């Protein structure tokens, strides 16, 4: 898995390229923590290039959401692929982490 980020209009977009699983979940959690620590508490995780997520990845998302909210921000998800969407729906996490069509839609003002 590769992670990258870029700043947008008042938020940071973190792109995941690859599988979000037991091996890569701690990397995402640390990456989000580092971004939030740089005074960027509003984060969008872009799943456009992520075709697989397991329960460890879901746990990393929940932990990352907590980090962002504790810093006074929020974490949102966008461009969710079918398998990732299925995991979110099966666990009802799509109610907490509502998928947006694109990163720009996640924080439309």
Domain around 94: 2-106
State the pLDDT at residue 44: 97
Look up the CATH number of the domain holding residue 81: 3.30.750.24
Contacts of 22 (CB under 8 A, 6+ apart): 54, 56
Distance CA 11, CA 41 (A): 7
Which residue in 106, 51, 55 sits closest to 84, CA to CA?
Answer: 51
Q: Is the pLDDT of residue 98 over 80?
A: yes
Mean pLDDT of 45-66: 97
- In 10 A of CB 19, how many CB atoms? 16
Domain count across the chain:
1
């Amino acid at each position: 898995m590769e992670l990258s980020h870029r700043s947008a209009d008042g938020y940071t977009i973190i792109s995941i390229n690859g599988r979000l699983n037991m091996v890569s979940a701690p990397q995402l959690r640390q990456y989000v923590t580092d971004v939030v620590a740089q005074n960027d508490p509003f984060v969008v995780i872009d799943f456009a290039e992520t075709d697989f997520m397991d329960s460890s990845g879901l746990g990393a998302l929940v932990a990352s959401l907590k980090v962002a909210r504790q810093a006074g921000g929020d974490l949102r998800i966008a461009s969710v692929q079918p398998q990732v969407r299925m995991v979110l729906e099966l666990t009802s996490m799509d109610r907490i982490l509502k998928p947006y069509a694109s990163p720009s839609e996640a924080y439309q003002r």
